[in-house]
Structure 1
């Protein structure tokens, strides 16, 4: 059986010692002398019901490419990573250098550009190539690893910037036509077409946090497409292309790509512009979804999440949440029994660990929340004040 593998879609090339930058899990080399070309597949796309596409008919892929491709950029990042320790280093710290390449798109005339955080991870210098082939320096204004998004900025003076219109993924339906524009394998200005294959997917960010409400598409996405736009039939950005499913057969597209919804980016952009980071609320628990697979345990409720661990000093600990102490194994999954069951946050039902994470993430640090729990078969409510999520934590 082939091994499933979901990878970020940036490309890294080595500069020293065959090192591949950690920003690119897809281990594909693209040399500096790769021949570039534009690939355009013309296909009709259905018009939107709001009539904003074009008087007299739907826009084709060619129409959309002509309109939106000038706003898509080629991102190159010179990265420095800490090398793995070697017995031959004699205790001296070692670093290695490489180049990560990906895509991005202009969002305003001020020179702000959206891309993926993993494209510029560890970057000491970032440049972007515009549609007219100009290469300009870019500053990393802000980065949010938990949503795999980064904001770059270039000096707009003397540049003919063509910002893309930001739409919303809230009304997107399975089957809606989409296009992706980016730089797969270093082939700049490449367009691919497809449809929305599924909604409400969940993928893992570089720091292990879950990214919710992700769009799945069959538009071909490959290493180098990272950070590029997923665009609807009206020419509006509905997502940022971020990861692909490889099926374990390699690093190329097999028709399953994932895009972070543009709504997530719009929500965090003000914080990235102001603070360079995103401050997220933190409860301090890890949990296990209660479903039919746990029916043999005889838990007092059929829904909710079973608390597995509580971080010392966290809001969960201060609220008095309890983790269990008895280890068990169900269907090959190790779990801890005897802990509290969280059923609700501020009266909103919690039916899975994803629900709990989403409800907590919807708050700001300092917000007070009420947790509806079941302990010893009895329901009660605990109140706590949320804190800021520690860096690289794997609990909600």
Structure 2
């Protein structure tokens, strides 16, 4: 009995030593310390449920949108003729040989009877247009109308049965980060589908007033005129441009928003040309030293630098120095937001313009009017239609007033600003549309005679050579 007790005591003692050694030397300290000191910083973590593993792109189904889109996107072939001068042309002036060239692009069927929207640069200078459907059937296409400013064109084919087509979606509802598909024919690879997200909206390129949807879906030469669709298969844009030093995709591309393309197509079908409603304001370049010094580059909205006489903005009471914050339900953060929305409107449409004037916010109803001024081709003069005040001052009914000239003319001592152009090479100029057409005929190698009234009402002839 005494021996058993001794063994039991040894076992208990040995177990205690073993447990103590484990606790002291092996087991890690997982204890939590609580502090009651009110000065200790406290970090609150979110209780929002996290996404499930692998959620994201795997949760988006592109198959239905892709299936519906590829059948409505076509391959457009444009045959043009270019002149190739021969050796004897330099001596005898004989007619140059014409070499056929074929350009390719994409288009989107927008109606079952064969109307197709594409880019103007895809069909420019075409002598012959052919369209190949996804089922490999090829048709001759007719050019219905174009708008070079927005790079949108409308063509049509005659098929013997209704065609698959895409409905225009509402590009104003498109959100940054939304998944999109670009469908087209890059490098003549027909029915190519690429995926990406909307990277930005109301993106301006260079000095253009055009507003684009920016996306990182891969777009390459041949995709021009193809479809940009959301995951529902709605047409939200017409793929148009890439910005690249190599000419190939480098990470982002641009599409004309569907609301702009739809309005242009409707104008071409109904009026034969594009009806552009103008607000009648100009905004300063926010990257100039003047804008930076005065903080205009930090303004969220569009700073009104000038209100055009007898424009819709003038009639509604907009003033220099107003900041446009919203039009209808569209928030305006930059100039491209403004031009993008106005591009969907026609003369006579009314918009509600929310402006900040000093510390006051006011909403002004503005009826849009036709464009009253433009920059003419070749010479770069800014001209505007005559106001009633101009007509009385100069005692004339037709002509266009010069409101801006390139700096090179000013350095040469040509003070044309404020004068009224009456004729160009003997052709009368009634309004800015006449001016656009006649200045467009000018070549840099010929002689141009402009008849005008100077600021004193004296008739002059200026010869440019």
Are the aligned partners of 1:102 and 1:119 in contact in 2 as well (CA < 8 Å)? yes
Aligned residues: 309
Are the aligned partners of 1:305 and 1:352 in contact in 2 as well (CA < 8 Å)? no
Deviation of the 1:296 alpha carbon: 2.9
Deviation of the 1:165 alpha carbon: 3.6
Deviation of the 1:189 alpha carbon: 1.9
* TM-score when normalising by structure 1: 0.61
Deviation of the 1:76 alpha carbon: 1.1
Residue of structure 2 equivalent to 1:296 = 293
Q: Of 219, 223, 234, which aligns to 1:236?
A: 234
Deviation of the 1:226 alpha carbon: 0.3
Q: Of 281, 285, 289, which aligns to 2:277?
A: 281
Change (3 A) 1:123 1:46: farther
Could you tell me how far apart the structure 1 residues matched to 2:90 and 2:71 are? 49
Q: Of 129, 132, 140, which aligns to 1:129?
A: 132
Residue of structure 2 equivalent to 1:196 = 197
Q: Deviations over 1:5-26 (max 9, x none)?
A: xxxxxxxxxxxxxxxxxxxxxx
Structure 1, unaligned runs of 5 or more? 1-42, 48-57, 322-338, 375-380
Of structures 1 and 2, the larger Rg is shown by 2
Residue of structure 2 equivalent to 1:74 = 75
**Equivalent residues in 2 for 1:1-396, closer than 5 Å:** 46-47=59-60, 58-60=61-63, 63-79=64-80, 98-157=101-160, 159=161, 161-192=163-194, 194-204=195-205, 209-212=208-211, 214-246=212-244, 248=245, 250-282=246-278, 286-289=282-285, 294=291, 296-297=293-294, 304-305=302-303, 307=305, 315=311, 340-341=320-321, 343-344=323-324, 352-354=334-336, 357-358=339-340, 361=343, 363-365=345-347, 386-388=369-371
Higher helix fraction (1 or 2): 2
Deviation of the 1:185 alpha carbon: 1.1
Could you tell me how far apart the structure 1 residues matched to 2:220 and 2:247 are? 8
Deviation of the 1:289 alpha carbon: 4.5
SS in 1 for 2:217: coil
* TM-score when normalising by structure 2: 0.53
What is the alpha-carbon root mean square deviation over aligned residues? Answer: 4.8
Residue of structure 2 equivalent to 1:26 = none
Could you tell me how far apart the structure 2 residues matched to 1:136 and 1:357 are? 37
Are the aligned partners of 2:204 and 2:336 in contact in 1 as well (CA < 8 Å)? no
Are the aligned partners of 1:289 and 1:352 in contact in 2 as well (CA < 8 Å)? no
Structure 2, unaligned runs of 5 or more? 1-55, 358-363, 385-465
Deviates more, 1:273-282 or 1:91-100: 91-100
SS in 1 for 2:237: strand
Q: Which has the higher contact order (CA 8 A, sep 6+)?
A: 1
Deviation of the 1:103 alpha carbon: 0.2
Could you tell me how far apart the structure 2 residues matched to 1:370 and 1:204 are? 27
Deviation of the 1:69 alpha carbon: 1.3
